[in-house]
Amino acid sequence: MTLKHLSIIAISVLAVGCSTKEKIYLGADLSYVNEIEDCGAYYQNGGKKVDPYKLFEEKGCNLVRIRLWNAPEASPYSNFADVKKSIKRAKDNDMKVLLDFHYSDTWADPGRQDIPKAWAHITDVKVLGDSVYNYTYNTLMMLDKGNLLPEMVQVGNETNNEILQPKGTIKDTIDWKRNSHLLNRGLKAVRDVANKTNKKIESMLHIAQPENALKWFKPATENGLTDYDYIGLSYYPLWSEYKFDRLPEAISTLKNTYKKKVIIVETSYPYTMNNVDKANNILDKKALIDGYPASPEGQKKYMIDLVKLTLKGGGSGVIYWEPAWVTSSCKTLWGDGSHWDNATFFDAANNNEALPGFDFYNKDNYK
């Protein structure tokens, strides 16, 4: 074999390695950080207080997910000003950003898709679609002015049900003509901003739990929802019919059927069953699965194995939901403190010292 041939092979190997590396996103949803820092929370690593964004980047996190509410009333966070601050912190630490439009003034999820108060009077679907478009387009263009344009945009959050519904209502069935029109207007706004700014922005549709996504994307596609780049999944074993052994199958089916990249944008696992504040923890003993105890090592093992299974199915990576939502003096709609303090990457019983769960960001685990 000649030196020329060896050089060609070496270049090819390097190219494949770089390509594979770029495809793996290991991320964190850090939407709560600004708020709980303002409420007195802090983070430690090796006994020293640290900037959480800097710590996540140093550990290997390469994608930060941030939620955006239209006009939140419960707190002055997750609004445009707060999102700008969060995106800047992520970009200052060389991490990419996934911006999550909830299209609501509060949490949008499978249990509710409350229309923003400012749009509640709109009954004409075309006008409502224009509102979605203009809001999405203008938000992204304002971010671009500050060099804060996200690399990915999520059009809706856990949109298992029809989006933009009257407050407190969830329909049993989806009006796909309406639903696809509204989501398509959001997707078009993302494409138009990318073209206007000449910058790459990838778009995403997000469904909670693999079994629901397998059902949802068929009628979505039949009704013209096709111009997006990623299928985003929430995957919490507590609420999913799909256990670990079936996860690669679901991801592979979604990827190959709809020719889209797939990423798990939400997952979590408890490192303890202890609760350090008055706010009840959402992940209780029912969240545990065999072989993964509620311990720092159990949490770490869950995350590393989940990434391996995701990659096995052809997925592009995993984002951990709110690993920095430690307890503080903040209040939520349901209590004082954090409902997630037993599922963060910081030990609440040890001055919020960084836990082994951070090791899931080490890409050497997935060679």
Instruction: Give Cα separations from 126 to 57, 64, 164 (angstroms).
Output: 42, 33, 13
Q: Which of 266, 297, 322, 353 is catalytic?
A: 266
The secondary structure of residue 165, as a DSSP letter, is B
> By the 8 A CB rule, do 174 and 219 touch?
yes
Q: Which of 35, 57, 158, 322 is catalytic?
A: 158
Tokens of 179: 């639903």
Query: Checking DSSP bridges between strand 346-347 and strand 25-29, what pairing results, if any?
Result: unpaired
Amino acid in position 156: G
Tokens of 178: 């309406």
SS3 76: coil
> By the 8 A CB rule, do 279 and 339 touch?
yes
φ, ψ of residue 59 to 5 degrees: the values are -80, -15
User: What is the full DSSP assignment across 105-153?
Assistant: SS--BTTB-BPPGGGTT---HHHHHHHHHHHHHHHHHHHHHTT---SEE
Q: Is 162 a catalytic residue?
A: no
Rg (C-alpha) for the chain, rounded Å, is 20
Q: Is 202 a catalytic residue?
A: no
Active site residues: 158, 266
